[in-house]
Chains A and B, each alone.
Chain A
C-alpha cells in the first residue's frame, strides 16, 4: 500500500515537473530558425547563424543602434588621442558574468588576446590594427594601435567579452601553448559571457537554447522572453507547420516566397520585409580559373543577368545592386550604376574574350546553397540566359557546409558561387575587407580568389584613414576599381523577409518597419531577444 502511495506520489511529481518544464518553455519563449552550423564561440563564429546566438550571449564594449551608429554598452565612455593610436575605454561597474563574477578590464584584455591568437571569426577586423591591450585598472582598458583605424568604434560591436577565469578552467589540449585550445572545445556548447541570455542547452545540429540572465546589468522590461531558442532547421514544410502550430515565433529569412505568402494567411502571423543595413547577393566568379579568369568573359556574364526579375520577383522588395557595397551601408559609392541586362553587349564582350570560339570547351560550374531554395530559381535563370550567349552552365545544389569546404581550396572552388554576404559592421570598409582583401581567400566570403595587391593596399589605406570623408572617398575608389575588374556579379541588395507571430510577440524590427524607419543593424542584432516581448496569454 505504501509502495503504491509512493509510486503515485512519484508519478504526480513527475507529471508536475513535466508540466512545469513544458509550460515554462511554452509560456515565454522566442523560437527562431536559422541554418546550422552555429558556432557560439565569439572567437570562432561570424556568420548569420553564429551572430544571432553570440549577440544574445555576450556583451560588447559598444552597442549598435538601429540607424547604424553605435552607443555605450559595457564601456560607458571612451577617449581617443588625436593621432588615433590610443583608445581608452571606461568600463561599467558591477557588470556580472553568468557565473556571478564581476566583469573587469582583465577579461577584456583576455578576450582580445584570445581572439587575435586564434585568428578566426572577427579577428580579421582587429588583427592588422591592434598592437596591445592593457588593463590600466579594473575598469579602464587601453588599446594601443599599430596604425590608425578609422572604423574602429563601429567594429567594436564585434568584440565580445568572455570571462577569463571560467575559460581558463576549461582548457583542453591544443595548439596555443599554455592556453591549450583556449577553451574552444568547451565553448562549443557553453558560454562564458555576460549577455542578457545564457546557454541552457546546445544540441549539435539541432538547437541552441538560452535562458534569461536575471542579473543582467541592463535590467529587464516586463514580458521579456524567459527563453530564446535558435533552431537549426530551414525546411519549408517544417517551418510552415511550426508557425501554424505557434511553435515558432520568428522564421528565418531563407524561405521560398510562396512559403511566406502561405504563412501571411495564417491567423496572427505577419510577414515583415525590410532592406537591412548591408546584405547583398553575389554571383562570385573565380578569377583564377578558366574561363572566368578573363575579365571580358566576366563582363559578358554580367550583361547576361536579368537583375530586375531577381529584385522584383524572386526576392521582392530588394534593390538591384550598385556595386560591391550595399546601398544602405555607409561608404557606398552612389555614383556607381547597376549593370544592365543586355545580351548584345554580352555578346560583344564575349567576342573580346580569349575563350571566344571555344566556349564549348569551357562549361561553367555553379554552386548554389541548398538551404536557400530561391537561389535555384536564379541558378536556372542564369543557365537559360547564359545559354542564349552560348555559355554552358552546370548547376550543382550544395549544402552550405559543402560550399564552405569547396571555398577553402582554389581547385575545388567552382567558377560561380551564389552567396549572400552581410556586413559585419556598419561601414563599407568591413565588407570590402571580407570580400576582396587577400586575407579572406579560402573562406566562403571570397570565392573569387582575387589576390590583387593593389586592392589589398587600397583597402588597408582606407581603413587607416581617420577622417570619415576622406576614408569614404577611398572606399569609393575601391568600389570603382572593383567594378572595372568585375570579379563578382553583384545581383541585389537583399530585402530580408521573415514571418513572425504578431498576435503574441512584440518584435522591435517589425515596429521599426511599421514606422517606416531605416534598419541598419549588424548581422544578428535583429534577433536581440532582450528587446522583444512575449504575451503567451494572447496565443
Chain B
C-alpha cells in the first residue's frame, strides 16, 4: 500500500535502484514510449540549442527580406519561407522555446496549487472549507479551459506571460478535482487513522502520508497535459493573444499562413505539423509513464 514511501526511504537505496531498474524495464517494453521519450528529448534539445541548430537564427527576430518571400520547401529552406521572406524551419524551432516554456511554467504553477487545493478539500471533506473550495473548483470546471483562457487572455495585454496566466487559471481545477477524489478515497484508510492516533500534525499527515500515494497519477496527468497546455497556448497565439511579433509562435504562424492557403500551403502546414509532433511526443511519453506506474502495482 505504501509503495512510494518505501521507494523514497533513504535507508533502502538498493531497493530504490532495483525499483528504478524495473520501472525502466516496464517503460522500455513499449517502443512507442521510447519513441516519445526520444522525441521529447529532441524537442528540448532543439529548443535549447535553436541558435546553433537552425540555418538562419536571425530570422527568429526582427527580420524581413522581401526578395525572398513565399519560396516553397527546398534544400535551402526545408520548410519554405513566409510572406516576410523568413525561413519557416528556423522559426518553428525557435517557437519550440515558447511552447515548452508555456507547458513547463503552467504545469509548475497549476500542479502545486491544484494539488494543495485538492488535498485540503479531500482531507477536510464535509467541512465548510472543503465545500467552498470544491464548489469554486466546480465552477471553473464547468467552463471549457480554452474558452476560459480565451476570455482571460482577451482581457489582458497579449504577451506570453499573460497567456500563461490565462491557461493557469483555467487549468488548476483539474488537478484539484483529481487529488480531491484520491484523497477522499484514502483519508479513512487504516494507515491514515493510525498516524492520526499518534497525534501527528494534520499537515504532515496530508503531505507525507497521503500525498505520496498520488504522485503516480499526478505525474502521468502532467505528462499527458503538457501537450494539451501547449495546444491551448498555440490556440491563444492563433487568435493573436499570445507571443507578439517578431517572436515566433506556432499558433501565430499557422494563423498567418492560413490566409495564403491553399496556394502557399507550407506556411501553415509545417508549424501545424510541429504542434502535432509536440503533442504526440508528450502523449507517447505520458502513456509510457502511465504504463510504468500502473503495471507495477
Give chain A's interface residues, CB within 8 Å of chain B. Answer: 235-237, 256, 258-259, 262, 309, 313-314, 370, 373, 376-377, 379-381, 383-384, 387, 393-397
Q: B288 at interface (Cβ–Cβ under 8 A)?
A: no
Task: Kindly report which residue of chain B lies nearest to residue A309, judged by CB atoms.
Answer: B66
Residues in A neighbouring B80, C-beta threshold 8 A: none
| Pair A384/B64 contact, Cβ less than 8 Å | yes
| Pair A237/B83 contact, Cβ less than 8 Å | no
| Pair A396/B244 contact, Cβ less than 8 Å | yes
| Pair A235/B64 contact, Cβ less than 8 Å | no
Give chain B's interface residues, CB within 8 Å of chain A. Answer: 61-64, 66, 70, 83-84, 158, 240, 244-246, 256, 258-261, 263-264
In Å, the complex CA distance between A29 and B63 comes to 44
In Å, the complex CA distance between A377 and B84 comes to 6
4 smallest CB-CB distances across A and B, nearest first, come from A236-B259, A384-B62, A383-B62, A381-B64
In Å, the complex CA distance between A379 and B259 comes to 18
Task: Kindly report which residue of chain A lies nearest to residue B255, judged by CB atoms.
Answer: A397
> What distance in Å separates the Cβ of B247 from its nearest Cβ neighbour in chain A?
10
| Pair B259/A235 contact, Cβ less than 8 Å | yes
Residues in A neighbouring B158, C-beta threshold 8 A: 396
In Å, the complex CA distance between A394 and B266 comes to 27
> What distance in Å separates the Cβ of B164 from its nearest Cβ neighbour in chain A?
18
Please tell me which one of the listed residues A256, A377, A393 contacts residue B66 in the complex, with CB atoms under 8 A apart: A377
In Å, the complex CA distance between A357 and B62 comes to 21
In Å, the complex CA distance between A373 and B258 comes to 11
| Pair B245/A383 contact, Cβ less than 8 Å | yes
Please tell me which one of the listed residues A236, A379, A397 contacts residue B240 in the complex, with CB atoms under 8 A apart: A397
Task: Kindly report which residue of chain B lies nearest to residue A379, judged by CB atoms.
Answer: B245
Task: Kindly report which residue of chain B lies nearest to residue A392, judged by CB atoms.
Answer: B62
Residues in B neighbouring A380, C-beta threshold 8 A: 62, 64, 84, 245-246
| Pair B263/A258 contact, Cβ less than 8 Å | yes
Residues in A neighbouring B246, C-beta threshold 8 A: 380, 383-384, 395
| Pair A395/B244 contact, Cβ less than 8 Å | yes
In Å, the complex CA distance between A394 and B244 comes to 8
> What distance in Å separates the Cβ of B182 from its nearest Cβ neighbour in chain A?
44
| Pair A256/B259 contact, Cβ less than 8 Å | yes
Residues in A neighbouring B259, C-beta threshold 8 A: 235-237, 256, 259, 373
> What distance in Å separates the Cβ of A390 from its nearest Cβ neighbour in chain B?
12
| Pair B260/A258 contact, Cβ less than 8 Å | yes
| Pair A256/B244 contact, Cβ less than 8 Å | no
Task: Kindly report which residue of chain A lies nearest to residue B67, judged by CB atoms.
Answer: A313
In Å, the complex CA distance between A258 and B257 comes to 12
Ordered by A's residue number, 17 sampled pairs between the chains whose C-beta atoms are within 8 Å are A235-B259, A236-B260, A258-B83, A258-B264, A259-B260, A262-B263, A309-B66, A314-B66, A373-B259, A376-B83, A376-B245, A376-B256, A377-B66, A377-B84, A383-B245, A384-B62, A396-B244
